[in-house]
Amino acid sequence: MNDASIPEPVIRRLSLYLRHVEQLAGREIETVSSTQLGEALHVTAAQVRKDLAYFGHFGRPGVGYRVGALLAALRGVLGTDRTWNVVLVGVGNLGSALLRYKGFPRRGFRFVAAFDADPAKRGRRVGGVDVFAMDALPHVADERGAELGLIAVPAEAAQEVADRLCAVGLRGILNFAPATLTLPPNVPVDPVDLAAHLERIAFRAARAFDVDRSGPGC
């Protein structure tokens, strides 16, 4: 099936399925039903079956899904059954925190280099990752086999950085800058606007509070 025909919400739910199935595997649970998966992710059993059917037939009627097989299948679909080499541009507070985050290596994402326009940051190591000047990007990206990029620069610099990452052949970009990027159609980009996420939470929280001002919070 052409990836373009798979709805974006389905792709987003794949990571949620993977997280839950990993937890089941850690508890040595051998099978799980679509109903159980749906309850855990707050979707219907029919939605679970429809989502997974985009990528193959993993379950058996009356048995459900074999947890080990489903775990391997989800990792294969998401491409996390291998290690991806990642570079980061923008070693400020957010970028430094991302470099130090230990969850990425466990998920198959390895930072191989970082880049920053500030001369004072060049030559440092942050989270065990070397920081280079932007001019070194083509050489270092090629030498270290960079495949994916993270952008953590101010909004006004994001498009230029994205263009340079595309020019060195990166295959996908995760954008933390609050800016909309224009990229070639063969280079997927996923925006992560933290303020926008908080705004959506505030929107829902404000309305929930108006509905029941006397109710408890979390």
pLDDT tens per residue, range 142-184:
999 999 999 999 999 999 999 999 999 999 999 999 999 999 9
Which of 91, 10, 4 minimizes the C-alpha distance to 51?
10
Residue after which a domain boundary falls, among 78, 99, 115: 78
Which of 60, 136, 145 minimizes the C-alpha distance to 111?
145
Is the predicted pLDDT of residue 17 greater than 70, yes or no? Answer: yes
Kindly state whether residues 45 and 105 are assigned to the same domain. Answer: no
201 part of a folded domain: no
Is the predicted pLDDT of residue 2 greater than 60, yes or no? Answer: no
Read off the CATH number of the domain in which 69 is found: 1.10.10.10
Kindly state whether residues 102 and 143 are assigned to the same domain. Answer: yes
At 6, list the tokens. Answer: 């798979």
| 26-to-19, 71, 83, 172 alpha-carbon distances in Å | 11, 11, 21, 30
199 part of a folded domain: no
Is the predicted pLDDT of residue 214 greater than 60, yes or no? Answer: no
Kindly state whether residues 189 and 92 are assigned to the same domain. Answer: yes
Which pLDDT score is estimated for 212?
59
Which pLDDT score is estimated for 92?
96
Binning pLDDT at 50, 70 and 90, where does residue 126 land?
Answer: very high
Which pLDDT score is estimated for 21?
96
Which of 124, 62, 51, 70 minimizes the C-alpha distance to 92?
124
**How many other CB atoms are there within 10 angstroms of residue 51's CB atom?**
23
> With left for phi above 0 and alpha for psi between -120 and 50, is residue 171 left, alpha or beta?
alpha
Binning pLDDT at 50, 70 and 90, where does residue 56 land?
Answer: confident
Which pLDDT score is estimated for 59?
74
Residue after which a domain boundary falls, among 27, 46, 78: 78
Kindly state whether residues 186 and 154 are assigned to the same domain. Answer: yes
Kindly state whether residues 143 and 183 are assigned to the same domain. Answer: yes
Which pLDDT score is estimated for 165?
97
Domain with 14, as residue range(s), is 3-78
Kindly state whether residues 46 and 18 are assigned to the same domain. Answer: yes
Task: Give the mean pLDDT of 85-109.
Answer: 95
Kindly state whether residues 65 and 89 are assigned to the same domain. Answer: no
Kindly state whether residues 101 and 177 are assigned to the same domain. Answer: yes
